[in-house]
Every structure is written in C-alpha cells, then in structure tokens.
Structure 1
Amino acid sequence: MLQHQQKFIMTFLGLVVLLLLTFASPNSSCTGKEQRFLLDFLAQLSHGGNSGLNMSWVHGTDCCAWEGVTCRGDNTVMGISLTSKGLTGRISPSLGNLSGLMNLNLSHNSLHGSLPKELVLHSTIVVLDVSFNQLEGSLQDLQSLNPGPPLQVLNISSNFFTGQFTGEIPASICVSPSFTELDLSRNQFSSNIPQGLDDCSMLRVLKAGHNNLSGILPHELFRATSLEQLSFPNNGLHGVLDGSQVVKLSNLTVLDLGSNGLSGEVPDSIGQLRRLEELHLGNNNMSGELPLTIGNCTNLRYISLRNNSFTGDLSKVNFTLLDLSIADFSMNYFTGTIPESIYACNNLIALRLAYNNFHGQFSSKIGNLRSLSFLSLTNNSLTNIEDVIQTLRRCKNLTTLLMGSNFKGEIMPQVKSIDGFQNLEVLSIDTCPLVGQIPLWLSKLTKLKILDLSSNQLTGSIPSWISRLHFLFFLDISSNRLLGDIPTALMKMTMLQAEMNAEKLDPEFLELPIYWTPSRQYRLLGAFPAALHLGNNKFTGTIPPEIGQMKMLMYLNFSSNSLSGEIPQEICNLTSLQVLDFSNNQLTGAFPSTLSELHFLSTFNVSYNELEGPVPTGGQFDTFSNSSYIGNPNLCGDVLSKHCSTTPRDQTFSSRQHSSRLPIIFGVIFGGLSALALLACFLIARLVYNDHTENLVPLQRR
C-alpha cells in the first residue's frame, strides 16, 4: 500500500514538473519581435549605464520576466518601468514598435538626446513619463497628421527641451479626447502660453513651471474647464488675474502662479473656487487688500502670498479654515494685530507673518494651535517678549521659532526655566535689541540645534551650560556686549566634534523654507553650516587650543574682539572650515605652519592684528587678496608686495633663540678659553720641568 502511495506521489510530481516546463517553454514567452525591440533599446544605452539590465535582459530568455517589463495574458509587452535605474544613453525609437505598450516610465535617469516621436504619437501608449533626464529638442518635431493618440499623461519635466512653447504644440496631443495630464515644467521653453490648450477638453493637470514663458494668461486657457491643477510658477508671466476668467475653473484644486510678474489684486471671485486647496501667488507684484471672500475657500490647505505689496488689516479676513495647514503672508504691508480667526485653524502647521507691520502681541488663544510647528514673526512691531514667550510655550509641537527684529529695547526674559518648548530646534531672537544676559531657561531647550541671539545688547559672559545642548551646531551671539574669555566649555559642543554626531540630524524637510539671508534659504536643518559666530563683542584672552576639537566647523568668526596671543596650531585640525575670520583683534606671532591644509576655505580674514612673518601660501591661500592681511605691518609675502628675504618670523625666532642661548654660548666660550689657558699653563710647566730634568741628569752622571 505504501509503495503504491509513493508511486502515485512521484507520478503526480512528474506531471506538475511537466506542466511547469510546458508553461515555461519558449512558445508561451514574449514574441521574438518584441524581444528584439527591447534588446535594440538596451543596445542604445551607454556602456556602464545599463549594467543592471544586462543581468536580466538576456537574449533567449522570456522578456516578460525581465526587470521592469510587464506583459498581458497573451504575453505582449504592456508596460516598461525603469525609473531610477541609472540609465545613460539614448532612447531607441524601437520601443515604438511594441504594439501593445501602454505605460512607459523612464524617469529619474540620465538619458540624453531627443524623445522619439514614435513614443509620443504611439497608438496605444496612455502614460509616458521621461521626467528628470537630460533630453532635449523641440516639441515642434513631434507634430503629426495622424489621428490623435490615446495619450493621457505626458510628463517631460526636468529635462532640457527647448523651443518656443506656442500654439504649435502638437495638435495631435490636444485633439485627443482622453488627454488628462501634461507636465512640461523645468525645461527651457520660451514665448507665450499656447492658445489652443482649451481643445484638451479632458485636461485635468497642466504644469509648465520653471521655464522662460512670458506674456499673459490667455482667455482660451480658462475654457479648459476640467482643469484641476494649473501650475506655471517661476516664469515671466505678467498681467492681472482676471476674476471673470478665473471663476470658470470651478474644478481647480491647485492654482500656482508664484514667482512671475503678475500685478493687480486678488479677485473677489477667488472665493467661488470652493474646491481650491492650494493658492500660490507669492513673489509677484500684486497689491491691494486681500478679499474677504478668501474665507469661502473652505478646503484651502496652503496659501502663499509672500513677497508682494498687499496691504490692509489682515484681521478683517475670516481665516476659520479647518483644513488650513500652511500660510505664508510674509514680506507685504499688512497691518493690525495678528488675526484672531487664525487661532481657530486647528490643523495649522506653519505660519509665516514676517516682514509686515503687525503690532501688539499674541492672544492666549494661540495655545489652541496644537499642531503648530513653524512660526516666523521676524521684522514686525510686536511687543512684550516675555508675554509672547509665555504664551507660545503652550504650542507643544513648535520646532522653529523666528521672532527677531521685534520687542525694541526690551529686556531678555530672565526666568530660570520655562515649562515648554521641549521640541524647539530653531530659535532666533536677533536684532531687537534686547538687554540683559543669555538666559538660563535656554539651557532647558535640549533639542535646540540652531540658536541666533545676534545684534542685541546682551552682556555678561558665555554660560558654561552651552555645551550641554548636545544637538546645537549653529550658534550666533555676534554683535552684542559679551565679555570675558572664550570658555573651553564652548569647545565641547558635541555636534561640532565628530561627523557621526552630525548624522543624528533629522533629515525631514521643514514645513516652510528658512530665509536666513536674501540669497540663502534652507529646507533642511542639516543643510545649515556648522557655525560659531562670536564676532563684534568684548571677548579677551587667547583662543583656546581646544578649538581643534570642533572638527565639523564650517564657519568660525571671532572678529572685532580683544583677543590676544597666537593663532593656535590646533586650528589646522578644522579641515571643514569654509570661513575663518579673526580680523580686528590683537593676535600676535606667526601663522601655524600647516594652515595651508585648510583646503575648503573660501573666506579668510586676519586683518588688523599684530601678526608677523610670511603669509600662508599654496592651495586656497593663493586666491586671497591683500585685504585678508591688511593692518599687520610685520607680515610679508608676494600678495603684500613685501619681500620676505629674511622673514621677520625667522629673525624673531632667531633672536629669541640667540637671546636664550647667549648665557650658554658665553659659558662655553669662557669655559673653553679657561680650559685652553689651563692647558697652556700645563704645557709650559711641562716644558720647563722637562728642561730642568734634562739639565739635572747630566750633573748626576758626572
């Protein structure tokens, strides 16, 4: 019985294997033609840029099992997805011979050359994505007289396509009744927006941002009433936002016209776009008061009006928008107090009110913003900093707080501790100017990474507890009235000592960029340079040699103090330094011999000290002008047009050695002369003795 069962099992397994072999036979694999078309595509890729595919795309094997290839039940190729595979080379037109291809995604590679029109005008391709490559050419080359293709999604963003972006966009695309998404952003298109896009009756997404488009928004564009996303940021568009036209796009969820040259006001009809979720109008030339109807856009999640010339009392607008998460009203001329209605936005994550004319202080209702993480209040006329801090501490999720250029002449709150701000990572209270000392309550902000207290009138010394802020890597306390020695505790800032510590920084993007300077913005905290700014204070004493421990420092500024002594040799350990400024102090001596090993220096200034000897040469130091050294009369070198025949450093060093060795030299000389004198006396005595002896001997013999 057992033998019969075993025989049955063996027979069954054999049938299973036979069936598997049957299904895996070449007869059920993709056709030889399609395999050849795919291999033609592979052959057009540059050597080394297709090594991953070479392991999978092998002649004679089933191409339906190749990496990135999907097939239908009849084994015809239906989709190719090779995104982020490091592909280089050109796209072969042979892919256009795949008669059943519906989805082609070659995005995020390094492909170059043109986009074959055989793909754009393909009879079955529905989604074509070649974004984030290095493709080029003109869209005019893609025109055809053939009936419109079934293409629904065309994404050619982030390439180098050129040519005039005009009504000459292939008509075969726009007449397709099924066309829904067109993304032409981040290329090099110029001229005006085409007038024929209203023929794309089903078009839902139209993106052409970050190009060189100009002109006005054509009226025909607003007849594409199916549009849900209209995005043309970072171009050269001008004119006004016509309210009678905008209202026609009732399905809009995203309107992005930021960073253009639009003028005029935000039309009242904006309130009729009830589905609107994002409104980007920042960085234009728009003006006037914000319409009260904006409160009717109850689905609004994101609004940016940054850097325009809007005016009026913002508190008149009802911002009771329950879905609002990010709001940027900065760099305008808004007045009044901070709108009370904004405190009802329970989902608000980021709020920027910087560079306006707001006054007064916060309502205690701001504590209702439990989700608030980013708050920028810089450059307004807010008052009562202690009350503001006590109020904001209730926002438990706050990570970024920027409130400099307010609270004119007030006293820095000196309470010992503040119950709150346990998640704060960025704090800027600069340019107020506040009086008082660096407060102890800052020592409780254990997650702090960036601290800016510059351009105030703070007095006292640097507190030793600063090194206990284990995540702090950017400290700016310049332009105050701080005094005393630079404490060695400052050199123990954990994040500045080793790269492994820097890796602990949160890689997540900020909710809004931090505009640290007019030309610098940061979306990641980790992108900030590791910096120590102590310039323009009253610090005395020497530069601690322990500074060599801060190996991650990129910016080091001790300028305009009263520091003395020599530049410590340990400064050469700071091999990541990009900026080094010791100007306007009382430093003496010569430069450390290995200073030229700081290969990343782009700014170097030691002017107006009492340094001596030759200036550093080699590497980056050959790029610095004499302004880096001016005000040090005892320095020499080619950059100063002062020859170092016998350098003051050598003279000083030799004179010091000479002075220190004079007693030894005199002792050796005197001792030597004395020894010679004694030796001479001995020899003379010996000669006299020998002569006397010779005279005595004969007498004895006689």
Structure 2
Amino acid sequence: MARDKSLSLVLLLLWAMVLSSNNSAASLESQAEADALLKWKASLLEREALSSWSLLPNANASTTQDSSPCNRTGISCNSAGRVTGISLHDAGLQGKLDNLSFSSFPNLAHIVLDQNALLGTIPAQIGTLSELITLDLSSNQLSGSIPKEIGELKKVTMVNLSNNHIAGSIPSSLGNLTNLVNLYMFDNQISGSIPQQVENLKFLEQLDVSGNLLNGSLPATLGNLTNLVFVFLCSNEISGPIPSEIANLKKLIWFQVCTNLLTGSIPSNLENMTTLESYLTGPIPPSLGNLSRPTNLYLFQNQFTGPIPPSFGNLRSLTDLSLALNQLTGPIPPPLGNLTSLTVLQLFDNPLSSSVPTEISNLTRLERLHLGNNNFSGHLPQVCQSRSLTHFTACNNYFTGPMPESLRNCTTLIRVRLEHNQLTGNISQVFGVYPSLEYIDLSYNKLHGELSPRWGQCQNLTLLKISENKLTGRIPPEIG
C-alpha cells in the first residue's frame, strides 16, 4: 500500500513538472510575441494609437499577465494566450513592416493594417505565417515587388494589397493559394502578365487587378475559375482577344476590361453567362441580346462598328446601357423602346444616323439621355414623360423642328446641351421653370422670340448659352 502511495506521489510530481514546463514554455512564447510587438512599435514614427502596448507595472496582476500581448490595442489571442490577430485599421502608423518579426507569431491568422502610412517592402518572412487567413495591407505606401514567399500562405482566403506602390510581376507562386476567395491588387504599378497558375485558384470569387501595368494576353485558364463573380481588369495594357473560355463563368456578374489594348471580337457564346451585368470591349455580336438578367451593359470607348443589335431590346432588366465613344452606324433600333427599366442611355460620340424612333418615348424612367455628337436628324424624342430626366444631351447633330412639348414641364432637369442643331420655336414658350437647372446650351440653332423672365427663377443656373439664334427683344432684368 505504501509503495502504491509512493508511486502515485511520483506520478503527480512528474505531471506537475510537465505542466510547469508547458506553462513556462507558453509564457516564454507569449513573452516573445509581446517583445516582437514592442520592438516593432519602437521602430514606428507615429505610434500614439499603440500607447496600450507599453508594459506598465500592475500591483494587482502577475508578471505573466503584465507581459501578455493580449490586452493590447488591435491584438487578439487564442485561449492559450497566443496572438492570432493584429488589426490596426487606419491607426496612423508610419514605419516599415520589415521590423515586425513575423516568425514570432506562428498562430497569426489575421493581419489587417490597411489605411496607414506603412513604407518599404512586403518582407519575404511573411511566408512563415502558415496559419494566416486574412492579409490586408491596402492603402499604404508599400513598394517593391510581391515576394514569392506569399505562396506559402496555404490557408489564406483574402489578400488585399491594393492602393500601394507595389511593382514587379505577380509571382507564379500565387497559384499555391488554393483556398483564396478574394484577391485585390488594384491601383499599383504591377507589370508582366497574369500568370497561368491562377487556374489553381478554384475558390476565387473576386479578382481586382485594375489600375496597373499588366500586359500580355488574358489567360484562357481564367475560364476554369467557375466560382468567379467579379473580375476587374480595367486600366492595364492587356492585349489580344478575349478568350471564349470566359463564357464558362456562369456565376460572373461583373467583367470589366475597359481601357486596355484588347482586339478581336466579343466571343459569340457569351449568352451562356446567365448573370452577366457588365461587359466591356470587342465588336458587338447580336448574341449579347440573349443574356438573361443583365442590369448594366457598358461597351463604351472601343472601336465597335456596324449597327446596334436589335436583339438588345430583349434585355428588359437593363438599367444602364452605354455604347458611347465607338464607330457604330445606322439608326437606333426601335426595340430599344422595350427597355422600360432603363435609367441611363449613352450613345454619344458615334456616327449613328437617321431619326430617333418614337419608341424611345417609352423609356419613362430615363434620368440620363446622351445622344450628342452623332448624325441624327428629324425631331427630338418626347422625353421626361414621368419627370425623371436630369441630363439631356443631343448636341452636334442635325435635329430639326420644335422642342419636344414634354420638355417644358421637365422640372428635374440639371444639365441640357442642345447646341449645334437646327431646332426651331419661340424660346419664351418652349421652356419652363427648372429649379435644379445648372447648365443649358442652346446656341447655334434657329430659336426665335424673347428671353422669358421665368429664367430668373432658375436660381442654380451657372451657364446659359443662347448665342447664334434668332432671338429678339431685351434681356429681362430677372436674369440678374
């Protein structure tokens, strides 16, 4: 019996020693994390937001509690007291990431340091954070290239490096981030091509690398990322055709590639993209009229030629349609009058011709109608039937005849440009009172009559151009 008691006592002592050893190790590791944070703080130029990181004497707490990093601003920990998150959004930090010892934080899952003034490069040591899930370094002043070691972050689901001064190419190791859901690198100076290895990012939903210096062609492997919802590639130097494989992205809502060097045609099989809301570039195939639920269709500022496809009249859920700044010819197809949800219609800067079909008057929700710089003739359409129109541009065309009667009561107007046409009518009768009107240009037409004193009630008006017409009489004092 005594022997059994002795054995039990020895086991208890051994267990106590193990616990003590574990606690000591945990305490040392926690202390190492606290020291690493304080060392980084000391390297920062602005650290007022980190005042709680100082180790202050506390008579009511143990030394271990005092040295723990877990009660510091922006620091989160697990139950073992190990740092799992550093979140210092818009904290006014000025300094470098190089001085933060990433290897001291083996349990770190979240780094959120956006909207600060961090300088220097992203250190290669960041690859040691094998538990990292969130990396947000956006809106700083980071420079240099993206380290290839970023490919070691196998658990990361969100990487945001946007709005910095990062240069160099996208490392092919990025393809190792197979759990990545959101990738944002916009507004940097990243160059080179989009690596083929992106095909490995099977869970990717959002990709934004717009506003960089990317070149080369769009990899056909983008079509393998079937979970993509948003793709933003605008303002780069990407060239070549749009791969037909893009049509495999059935969940895609936004696909923007504006202001690039893309050539060739829009793939004719895009009607398979059943939730497409926005698409840019390439000649216009009639099959785009088969898109089932688009709300925005932006095809502006390209080299489109030929007519506007009448099939666009099928896109009844459209609210915004922009075909501006192209080389489109022919008339506006009457089926566009079917788009009764349309609030914005932009057709300016094309050589479109003929008269505007009367069906355009069906677009009673229009807020912005831009027809300027074309070859339209005939009468202006009856617009603003429901008094929602704020911007109406039809300048530099060959419109004739009187102003549309509906314009007289369009009290929502803010900006009107009808200059350089052949419009007729008595200026004192065809226009009403527009309390929100800021700008109106009626110059170079054939308007006659006297300027109405009602213009004096347009108290937000900053510009009124009526030169080169057939006006008579005096300027009413109410204009003052």
1:525-573: per-residue Cα shift (whole Å, max 9, x none)? xxxxx4333455565677665444xxxxxxxxxxxxxxxxxxxxxxxxx
Pairing of 1:146-185 with structure 2 (within 5 A): 147-163=128-144, 165-166=145-146, 168-169=147-148, 171=149, 173-185=150-162
Displacement, 1:422? 2.6
Q: How high is the sequence identity, in percent, across the aligned residues?
A: 27
1:282 maps to 2:258 = yes
**3-state SS, counterpart of residue 119 of structure 2:** strand
Counterpart of 1:130? 113
CA separation in 1, counterparts of 2:468 and 2:139? 45
Aligned amino acid, residue 275 of structure 1:
K
Match of 1:292 in 2: 268
Write out per-residue CA displacement over residues 353-397 of structure 1, whole angstroms, 9 at most, x where no aligned residue: 122314223234x3443322111112334445452xx31232232
CA distance in 2, matches of 1:461, 1:217: 60
Higher RCO, Cα 8 Å, sep 6+: 2
From 306, 316, 327, the equivalent of 1:356 is 327
1:6-64 Cα deviation digits (max 9, x unpaired):
xxxxxxxxxxxxxxxxxxxxxxxxxxx99xx89x979x8969x87xx99xx9x999xxx
SS at 2:279's partner residue? strand
Residue 145 of structure 1, CA deviation: 8.3
Show the counterpart of 2:395: 430
| Cα separation, 2, equivalents of 1:250 and 1:425 | 40
1:492-511 alignment, distance < 5 Å = 492-496=457-461
For 1:331 and 1:304, the matched residues in 2 are separated by 9
Aligned to 2:94: 112
Listed as ranges, the matches of 1:315-326 within 5 Å are 315=286, 317-326=287-296
Match of 1:401, SS state, is strand
Deviations 1:561-609 (A, max 9, x none): xxxxxxxxxxxxxxxxxxxxxxxxxxxxxxxxxxxxxxxxxxxxxxxxx
CA contact (8 A) 2:414 2:437 kept: yes
Query: Relative to 1, partners in 2 of residues 1:367 and 1:531: Cα closer, same or farther, differing over 3 Å?
Result: same
Partners of 1:259 and 1:422 in 2: how far apart? 36
- Distance across 2 between alignment mates of 1:443 and 1:378: 23
Match of residue 303 from structure 2: 333
Deviations 1:491-518 (A, max 9, x none): 320334xxxxxxxxxxxxxxxxxxxxxx
Q: Distance in 1 between matches of 2:87 and 2:244?
A: 42
- Counterpart in 1 of 2:18? none
Residue 446 of structure 1: which of 394, 406, 411 is its match?
411
- Map of 2:378 onto structure 1: 410
Tell me how far 1:103 sits from its aligned partner. Answer: 4.4
C-alpha root-mean-square deviation of aligned residues, in Å?
3.9
C-alpha distance in 2, partners of 1:383/1:320? 25
Specify which of 143, 156, 164 is matched with residue 124 of structure 2: 143
1:138 corresponds to which letter in structure 2? T
Partner residue of 2:279? 303
Q: Max radius of gyration: which structure?
A: 1
**2:373–2:394 contact (8 Å) kept in structure 1:** yes
Q: Residues 540 and 125 from structure 1, CA distance in 2 versus in 1: closer, same or farther, beyond 3 angstroms? A: farther
- 1-side partners of 2:280 and 2:243: how far apart? 15
One-letter identity of the residue aligned with 1:360: P
Partner residue in 2 for 1:191: 168
Deviation at 1:197, TM superposition (A): 1.0
Q: Secondary structure at the match of 1:186?
A: coil
In structure 2, what is the equivalent of residue 557 of structure 1? none
Cα pair distance change 1:460/1:420, threshold 3 Å = closer
Q: In structure 2, the residue corresponding to 1:319 is in which secondary structure?
A: helix
Q: Does 1:269 align with 2:245?
A: yes
Aligned to 2:222: 246
The code of the aligned residue for 1:345 comes to L
User: How far apart are 1:109 and its partner, in Å?
Assistant: 5.6
Match of 2:420 in 1: 455
Give distance in 2, aligned partners of 1:237 and 1:75. Answer: 41
Which residue of 2 is the match for residue 479 of structure 1?
Answer: 444
In structure 1, distance between residues paired with 2:83 and 2:386: 55
Aligned-partner Cα distance in 1 for 2:342–2:84: 44
Give the Cα separation in 2 of the matches to 1:475 and 1:227: 48
Find the aligned partners of 2:438 and 2:384 in 1 and give their Cα distance.
Answer: 23
Alignment partner, residue 24 of structure 2: none
Classify 1:403/1:487 alpha carbon distance in 2 versus 1 (closer, same or farther; 3 Å): same
In structure 2, the residue matched to 1:531 is 463
2:372 aligned with 1:395: no
Q: Which residue of 2 aligns with 1:522?
A: none
Whole-Å separation in 2 of the counterparts to 1:208 and 1:396: 40
Query: What residue in structure 2 maps to residue 377 of structure 1?
Result: 347
Deviation at 1:328, TM superposition (A): 0.9
SS state at 2:408 partner: helix
Retained in 2: the 8 A contact 1:150–1:176?
yes
> Contact conserved, 1:359 with 1:380, CA < 8 A, in 2?
no
Change (3 A) 1:331 1:200: same
Measured in 1, the distance between the counterparts of 2:428 and 2:83 equals 68
Deviation at 1:318, TM superposition (A): 4.0
Q: Tell me the CA shift for residue 424 of structure 1.
A: 1.4
Q: Which residue in the other structure is 2:455 paired with?
A: 490
Residue matched to 1:582: none
- Alignment deviations for residues 163-212 of structure 1 (CA, whole Å, 9 cap, x no partner): 1x24x24x2x4312211111111111112221221122212222211111
- Taking the aligned partners of 1:119 and 1:176, their CA distance within structure 2 comes to 16
Which amino acid is 2:165 matched to? Q
Whole-angstrom CA distance in 2 between matches of 1:437 and 1:178: 67
Distance 2:124 2:342 in 1: 50
CA positional deviation for 1:442: 0.7
Give me the whole-angstrom Cα distance separating, in 2, the residues matched to 1:340 and 1:409: 20
Deviation at 1:262, TM superposition (A): 1.5
**Cα separation, partners in 2 of 1:471 and 1:385, compared to 1, 3 Å:** farther
**SS class of match (2:142):** strand
Taking a change above 3 Å as real, the CA distance of residues 410 and 367 of structure 1, as seen in their structure-2 partners, is closer
Conserved 8 A contact 2:332-2:356: no
Q: CA deviation at 1:125?
A: 3.7
Question: Aligned partners of 2:200 and 2:374: how far apart in 1?
Answer: 47
TM-score, with structure 2 as normaliser: 0.77
1:638-649 equivalences under 5 Å are: none
Change over 3 Å in CA distance of 1:147–1:189 after alignment to 2? closer
Partner secondary structure for residue 392 of structure 2 = strand
Quick check: 285-294 or 473-482, which moved more?
473-482
Separation in 2, partners of 1:465, 1:117:
70
Distance 1:60 1:128, change over 3 A: same
Partner of 2:232: 256
**Which 5+ residue runs of structure 2 have no aligned equivalent?**
1-32, 59-67
Q: Is the 8 A contact 1:151 1:179 kept in 2?
A: yes
CA separation of 1:150 and 1:543: change in aligned 2, threshold 3 A:
farther
Aligned to 2:186: 209
Q: Structure 1's 120 and 302: CA in aligned 2 closer, same or farther, altered over 3 A?
A: farther
**TM-score using structure 1 length:** 0.54
**SS of residue matched to 1:495:** coil
Distance 1:117 1:300 in 2: 45
| Equivalent pair of 2:180/2:201 in contact (CA under 8 Å) | yes
Alpha-carbon deviation of 1:104? 4.3
Residue 112 of structure 1 aligns to which amino acid in structure 2?
Q
